[in-house]
Structure 1
Amino acid sequence: MRFGFLGINYKKAQLDIRDRVSFTDTMKLDFFQRAEGLGVSQSMVLSTCNRSEVYFVYEKEEQAKGMGRVYEGMFPELNLKEYLNNLSGQEAMAYLFRVTAGLESLVLGEDQILGQVQEALDYSKTMGFSGKELNRIVRDAVTCAKRMKSELKISEKPLSVSYIGIRQLDRVCGIAGKRVLVIGSGKTATLALKYLSEYETESITACSRTYMHAKRLKEEFSQIHIIPYEERYQRMAQCHIVISATASPHLTVRRDAFKPRQPITFLDLASPRDIDTEFDRELQATLINLDALQEIAEENWRERERLAKEGGKIVEEALKETDMWLRQSRMDSAIESLQHRCSGIVEDSYQYLNRKMELSLREQKLLKKVLHASLQRLLREPIKELKRLGIEQEQEEYKRLIEQLFQFEKDGQG
């Protein structure tokens, strides 16, 4: 019983390939059924924008090779050989643990993949293509990822410049209770409004060169006020915070058009810059721009990398336990056969003795317990040794030897 992985991800395949190698739910079910035709009854498909990967449990090398052919057969119009990755055994398990923890993600340490792995396993379970081994391995990977999230908090080191900018604003001047003006209506401005909504501001006003674009923002953020772009300076005079995030090649806030009369903080999220750097000379003004925010983002990335190394140690520790369990589970069928034979011998001996002797109900129960305990005592040490076997080849040899010695196949046991 071995664990396998194959698939493509963002490291080797460009977006145009990843877009074409994506599994719908119907395709996943088709894949499971084709895999079952190879004798692989446990498999899971993890299909996201950055990866289309398959994890499975198999018995023979021929099955692992066959899984590669099945995968390629799902996308016959593409030549995927140069993009496919494949791993087996502990390497495959280690990779799944790292994927689930966000250590193999494009954005290092991101949390979204954890839920995606859980959903992938749930789908396999629902369709009947998951079993004891796959369930345990994926569950252990999820548990490990949750432990890392709790202890290291990698994802709490923000990399989004918009998010870092709002956090920096709050550190510099405090956002709660303040009047805020947001200039712009694109993606960056929308993110700024989203993060601002987490604070209890007194008011938020938005404007854009295209008035209709600004009005669309109100569909998502009903609490904001919309004003014409030309009125931005009048509104600015009443605000404590100004955020500008446009794609304009020209300044949206000029020093010669606005003289601060009260303390005001500017956040410039644009490149090229939106806000005149001359405001840096104003005693009443504080200017936060992309240069400062990029430095914070880079520092946070370095911190994520440091924490990821610590996370790697947590993965190694968790992986040892899972690997030990999987190695022991390979001998379960042999151990179950031994215990089944033990129960059969106990029952046969009990029935024979019970017919030969006149025993009370209490004595009958005692006899059965003694017989069972005696045979279990005989098997205890051999079973311990079977569980300690670490080399797969040794395990297979011992299983064949046990089957031969106890004639399980002949008797239809095991």
Structure 2
Amino acid sequence: MLQHFHILTLTHRNAKLKEIGELVTAFEGQDGLRDRLTRLREEGMVEEVFYASTCNRLLLLFTTDRSVDDDFKRNLLTEPIEGLQRLRHLSGLRAIKHLYEVAGSIDSLVVGERQILGQLRECQERCREWRLIGDDLRIITNQAVLAAKDIYANTRIGEKSVSVVSLSMQELQRYAPSRKSRILLVGAGQTNVLVTKFLRKQGYSNVTVANRTPERARQLAAGFENGQAIRLDELHTYTGGFDVLFVCTAASEATVTPERFAALLAGESPVGKIVVDLGVPADVAEETVRGYDFTYISIEHLRSLAEENMDFRRREIEVAQSIIARHLTETETIYQTRLIERAMSEVPQRIKQIRHTAVNKIFRKELADLDPETRELMDRMMLYMEKRCIGIPMQAAREAVVR
């Protein structure tokens, strides 16, 4: 019944992110995704198709009665791409189960990552607008959304942060620094970009950003009421002091040496200062940590917390799988019911045709001899029976499916 549903997918589990990116580019390059997917339908390879991609996944969900073999994979694109042969194939209930696992973030690189559901819904809407999704995939993708919502509502799979930046902010809040604290950010890479988002959300305004590229520092500092930007090589003359120091650079050696730390203190005591080190390798020298009395939040500590939280999320997978199993059973029932509705969609018209033939051909002469009142009564009786004859088999079929 469901064997014509298929998934071809390439994920972080069976390919490098670079390989996934190359395949995504092959499908989406030059804004040609719609044309490439439409071609699959026009050439009869698929009946309906749904396409989704993320930074670590490419997924094609489609319906077809054709054999999904190596030739099928090669013909997905007009140009030869090595990654096509690495696409993993799932069919029937296994394909649908995989889609539900993806939507529920069970199969994600980061278990419990809620963003994946939003991404799938955007892809669903796009494919619907392109008229690539019909009745079959509408049912399955809608059920995937319901299954995912059920998982998020009835498990703890999305609890406990696994983001190092988010955890660093949680750790910072444990020490309750004032919103007027002087915050110094050393480095303006992607990690510290995320840090600034958290700082703005928490209402901090006194932020100084130091970076090798001044323009980049100015961009981050501009988001704060009292934001300032300085060059990284100006740190040794910086006299503004700090209450909280975030440091994350691409340097191969420690940036915050004992000498530099002493300069950054600007004559103030280290006691009560908070230093958050997000660098890999560490940006704060061990000698600095040993030589001064301050609160140190290290990347290793944050990674340890992240792994503990990820283990917590993974333990919720068993509960999530039971929810998916229930939704798969419901999906089979819903799809069976829909097949019957399709098969019986012509019943009302057939019954109307029978009534028309009876009135206008078979019993035309007999009805013509009836008086108007009797004729009207006969019409009402036949209309009533017509409606009942339409409803009874539909209801009986639905009850049979449920049983």
Normalised TM-score (structure 2)? 0.81
Q: Does 1:270 align with 2:273?
A: no
TM superposition shift of 1:372 = 1.7
User: Structure 2 stretches of 5 or more lacking a match?
Assistant: none
* Structure 2 CA distance for partners of 1:201 and 1:34, relative to 1, 3 Å: closer
Counterpart code for 2:38: F
Superposition deviation, residue 266 in structure 1: 1.8
Distance 1:32 1:267, change over 3 A: same
Q: Deviations over 1:197-233 (max 9, x none)?
A: 211124111224x3xx24422224402212431134x
Report what 1:111 is aligned to.
114
Indicate whether 1:219 and 2:219 are aligned.
yes
Aligned to 1:375: 389
Q: Structure 1: how far apart are the matches of 2:303 and 2:110?
A: 16
Q: Verify: 1:142 aligned to 2:141, yes or no.
A: no
Give 1:183 shift: 1.9
1:18: which partner in 2?
20
1:328 aligns with 2:340: no
SS of residue in 1 equivalent to 2:354 = helix
Instruction: Look up the match of 1:9.
Output: 11
State the Cα distance separating 1:179 from its structure 2 match: 1.9
Structure 2 letter corresponding to 1:218: R
Q: For each residue in 1:149-170, what CA deviation from the matched residue of structure 2 results, as whole angstroms up to 9, or x when unmatched? A: 3444644532222221122101
User: Offset at 1:108?
Assistant: 2.0
Question: Which residue of 147, 151, 163 corresponds with 1:160?
Answer: 163
1:305 to 298, 301, 314: 314
Distance in 2, matches of 1:322 and 1:310, equals 19
Which sits farther off after the overlay, 11-20 or 158-167?
11-20
Contact persistence 1:185–1:214 (CA under 8 A)? no
Matched-pair identity in %: 22
* C-alpha displacement of 1:296: 0.8
Deviation per residue, 1:305-364 (Å, 9 max, x gap): 123332222222222212211123233333224443333323434554754533438625
Q: Structure 1 pair 116/284, CA: closer, same or farther in 2 (3 Å)?
A: same
1:125-157 superposed Cα distances (whole Å, 9 cap, x missing partner): 222222112112111212322333344464453
- Out of 50, 55, 58, the position equivalent to 1:52 is 58
Structure 2 counterparts to residues 383-402 of structure 1, below 5 A: 383-384=397-398, 387=401
- Equivalences for 1:91-106 in 2 at 5 Å? 91-106=94-109
Cα displacement (A) at 1:268 = 1.8
Give the partner amino acid of 1:216: R
Q: How many residues align?
A: 380
Where do 1:61-140 residues align within 5 Å? 63-65=66-68, 69=72, 72-74=75-77, 76-80=79-83, 82-140=85-143
Structure 1: segments with no counterpart, 5+ residues: 390-414
1:357 aligns with 2:401: no
Counterpart position of 1:33: 39
CA distance, structure 1, for counterparts of residue 255 and residue 76 of structure 2: 55
Q: Is it true that 1:254 corresponds to 2:258 in the alignment?
A: yes
Other structure's SS at 2:62 match: strand
Distance 1:214 1:341 in 2: 77
Shift of residue 297 of structure 1? 0.7
Q: Check whether the contact 1:265–1:286 (CA below 8 A) recurs between aligned residues.
A: yes
CA distance in 2, matches of 1:101, 1:125: 21
CA contact (8 A) 1:180 1:204 kept: yes
